[in-house]
Amino acid sequence: MNVIIGLEIHVQLNTATKLFCRCSTDYRDDPPNTHCCPVCLGLPGALPRVNRKAVEYGLRVAKALEMEVPEESEFARKNYFYPDLPKAFQITQYDKPLAVWGNLEIEDDEGHEKTVRITRAHLEEDPGRLVHKGGGDRVRYSLVDYNRSGIPLLEIVTEPDLRSPQEARRFLNRLRSTLEYLGVFDGDKEGSLRVDANISIEGYERVEVKNISSYKGVEKALTFEVTRQRNLVRRGQPVTVRETRHFQEGRGVTTAARSKEEEHDYRYFPEPDLRPLAVSGWVEEIVLPELPVARKNRFVEQYGISLNHARTLTGDLEVAEFYERIAAVDPVLAATWVADTLLGELNYRSMRIAAVPPGHFAELLTLLKEDTITDKAGVEVLREMLDSCAAGEACEQPAAIVEREGLAKATGGEFDAIVRSVIEAHPQAVDDYRTGKKGALNFLVGQVMKETRGRADPRELGRIVAGCIDTTGV
C-alpha cells in the first residue's frame, strides 16, 4: 500500500515590517496588540501597500527553488468570517501566484537523490492569533492578538511526490535550511513555519491534516495517518471522501474536524486596493548565495569528507559556517567531531553552535590530532567546555581542562600499577580470559579505563593487560 504525501507550507518571511503596513514584525516578546495599525487591524478605509522586501524575499525563494515567475501576479481576497481576521477577508494570492513549478532536491528513504516538484508559491498575510481560555475542553472565552496579523507569509505547495513521513521530514529540513541560507526566514522563532499535510494511500482519497506547527509534529501526524489509513483499507473501509483532520500535538493523534466548519465559500476575487505585481524582470537581478545542496557537494570535494557528514554539516547554516572556520586543523577529524559528537552534545544541552567559540573547538581538535588526549578524554573535555559556555561564563580552554583534570594521555609504565591491582582484584575474570573468553579481557580493560578516567587508549590497554596476565601468571 503506497503512501502519497503532499505538503502546503506557510513560512513567515523575516522582513522588518509587515506585508501591507509598516508595523514591526518583531512582536514575540511584546504584549498583545502593540504592533498594530489601521491597516493590519483592517479598519474601514485603511489602504494596504505592498512591502517591497517581502516580494523580493518571495522571489529569492522562487529562484532558489528553480521556479517560474509569471509576468504578472495578483493579490486576491479570500473571504471568511472568523475573529483572527477583523476585516473578514485575507489578502492572499489565488489563481495568479507569485511563482509556479519548481524543484527541491532531497534524499529518499534509500539515501538516493530525489527531486520533489513544487507546485506554486504565493504571498499572503498571516492572520491574528487566538488564545482560548478555560479549563480542559471547555473554552470559556477567547482572546485575540493582532500582533501577528499582517506578517508576510509565503505559502509553498508541493506536488504529491513524497512517499513516507520520513521523506516529508527530510523535505522540511532541506526547505528550512534553504530558506535560512537565503536569509529570508528564521526557523527558531516559534510558529514561523506551519504545515498542512496531505496524505493518502494510493488509489484512495486524501486526508488533509491542518496547521501542524512543528517539524516533529509533521512526521508524527503523518506516521499516525499512515497506520490509520492502512487499517481502514484492511478493514474494507478506505478513505473515499476527502477529509480534513486536526493534529493533537499532545496525544500524537489526528481527529476529524467537523466538516461544517471547513465548508467555506471563500468567494475569491481580485483585491481592488492593490495593483497586480509585475516583477518577473526582477528575478535576474537577484544573486543567490551558495545553497545547501551546492555546499554539501563542495564539502565532499574540498574537504574529502563523507557524504553523510557533508549532509549533516550543511543542514544548518550556522553549523556549516562553524565547520568551515575550524576545518583547517584537520577536515576529516573536524567533520567527525562536529557531526558525530558536538551536535549531539549541543542538542542535549539545548545549546546553539553559536555559543561555542571556534578557536576553543579548534584547540580541542589539535589536542586530539596530536594525540595528547584520547577520544574518550576528548568527549569529557568537550562536555566540561560546553558546560562552562552554557553557564554564561567565559568558555574554558580545552588545554586548561586537560591540565586541571589531568586528562593527558597516559604513557606506558604510568598505569602498570593500576593494571596489576585490577588483575589481582578480579581473579575470576583472569581465569575466564585464560580459558579463552574474550569478553573477560574487555571487562578488565574497562576496569582499568574506569580507574584512569579514559586517559588510556583502549586498544593499547588491551595489549598491556593481556601481556601482564601472561607474564605475571597471577
Ligand X SMILES: Nc1ncnc2c1ncn2[C@@H]1O[C@H](COP(=O)(O)OP(=O)(O)OP(=O)(O)O)[C@@H](O)[C@H]1O
Q: Which residues are at the interface with ligand X (CB under 6 A)? A: 4-8, 157-160, 196, 198-200, 206, 208
314's contact among ligand X, Mg ion, none, with CB below 5 to 8 A by partner kind, is none
Question: Between residues 197 and 386, which has the closer beta carbon with respect to Mg ion?
Answer: 197
Q: How far is the CB of 98 from ligand X (least distance, A)?
A: 15
- Using CB under 5 A as the binding criterion, the count of chain residues that bind Mg ion stands at 2
Which of ligand X, Mg ion, none does residue 199 bind (CB under 5 to 8 Å by kind)? ligand X
- Minimum distance between the CB of residue 73 and Mg ion, rounded to whole angstroms? 16
- The C-alpha atoms of residue 24 and residue 36 are separated, in whole angstroms, by 9
For residues 27 and 32, what is the distance between their CA atoms, to the nearest angstrom?
Answer: 8
Least separation in angstroms between residue 206's CB and ligand X is: 4
Residue 124 interacts with Mg ion (CB under 5 A)?
Answer: no
Contacts of 467 (CB under 8 A, 6+ apart): none
Strands 243-248 and 207-212: parallel
Cβ atoms of residues 279 and 73 within 8 Å: yes
C-beta closer to ligand X: residue 158 or 312: 158
Considering the complex, what minimum distance in angstroms separates the CB of residue 242 from ligand X?
Answer: 8
User: Among ligand X, Mg ion, none, what does residue 124 contact (CB within 5–8 Å per kind)?
Assistant: none
SS3 321: helix
373: which 3 cell numbers?
588526549
Closest CA relative to residue 222, chosen from 205, 232, 209: 209
What CA–CA distance (Å, rounded) separates 9 from 178? 14
7 binds, among ligand X, Mg ion, none (CB under 5 to 8 A by kind): ligand X
Is residue 8 a contact residue for Mg ion (CB under 5 A)? yes
Nearer to ligand X, 3 or 293 (CB): 3
Q: Which does 127 bind (CB under 5 to 8 A by kind): Mg ion, ligand X, none?
A: none
If the CB atoms of residues 266 and 282 are measured against ligand X, the closer one turns out to be: 266
Residue 4 interacts, among ligand X, Mg ion, none and using kind-specific CB cut-offs from 5 to 8 Å, with: ligand X
Cell numbers describing residue 359:
578557536
Residues 419-434: b if buried by 16+ CB within 10 A, e if exposed? beebbeebeebbebbe
Query: What is the rounded distance in angstroms from the CA atom of residue 265 to the CA atom of residue 79?
Result: 8
Cross-strand bridge partners of residue 154? 11, 123
Which C-beta is closer to ligand X: that of 209 or that of 368? 209
Residue appearing with cell numbers 481580485: 270
| Shortest separation between residue 157's beta carbon and Mg ion, angstroms | 6
CB of 321 to Mg ion, least distance (A): 34
Q: For Mg ion, which is the closer residue by CB, 36 or 207?
A: 207
Instruction: Residue 35: name its binding partner from Mg ion, ligand X, none (Cβ under 5 to 8 Å by kind).
Output: none
Residue nearest to ligand X (CB): 6
Determine contact, residues 6/198, Cβ cutoff 8 Å: yes
Cβ atoms 465, 423 nearer than 8 A: yes
Q: Which three cell numbers stand for residue 421?
A: 591491582
Which residue of this chain has its Cβ atom nearest to Mg ion in the complex? 8
Nearer to ligand X (CB atom), residue 8 or residue 271: 8
Nearer to Mg ion (CB atom), residue 102 or residue 454: 102
Spatial contact of 48 and 273, defined as CB atoms under 8 Å apart: yes
Q: How far is the CB of 118 from Mg ion (least distance, A)?
A: 13
* Distance in Å, CB of 109 to ligand X, minimum: 17
Distance of closest approach, residue 196 Cβ to ligand X, in angstroms: 6
- 206 contacts which partner out of ligand X, Mg ion, none, CB within 5 to 8 A by kind? ligand X
The smaller minimum CB distance to Mg ion, of residues 145 and 196, is found at 196
Our finding on whether 316 is near Mg ion (CB under 5 A) is no
d(CA 378, CA 385): 10
CB nearer to Mg ion: pick between 157 and 466: 157
Q: What DSSP string runs through 47-81? A: -----HHHHHHHHHHHHHTT-B--S-B-EEEEE--
The least distance separating Mg ion from the CB of residue 10, rounded to whole angstroms, comes to 9
Q: How far is the CB of 257 from ligand X (least distance, A)?
A: 12
Residue 5 binding target from Mg ion, ligand X, none, CB below 5 to 8 Å by type: ligand X
> What part of residues 195-254 is at the interface with Mg ion (CB under 5 A)?
196
In terms of CB distance, is 199 or 334 closer to Mg ion?
A: 199
Cα separation of 392 and 424, whole Å? 46
**Closest of 346, 368, 389 to residue 454, by C-alpha:** 368
| Helix, strand or coil, per DSSP, at residue 438 | helix
The three cell numbers of residue 246 are 486536526
Set of cell numbers at residue 117: 516538484
Which of ligand X, Mg ion, none does 37 bind, CB closer than 5 to 8 A by kind?
A: none
- 349, 386 contact by CB (below 8 A): yes
CA–CA distance, 42 with 23 (Å, rounded to integer): 13
160 binds, among ligand X, Mg ion, none (CB under 5 to 8 A by kind): ligand X
Give the residues lining the site for Mg ion (CB under 5 A).
Answer: 8, 196
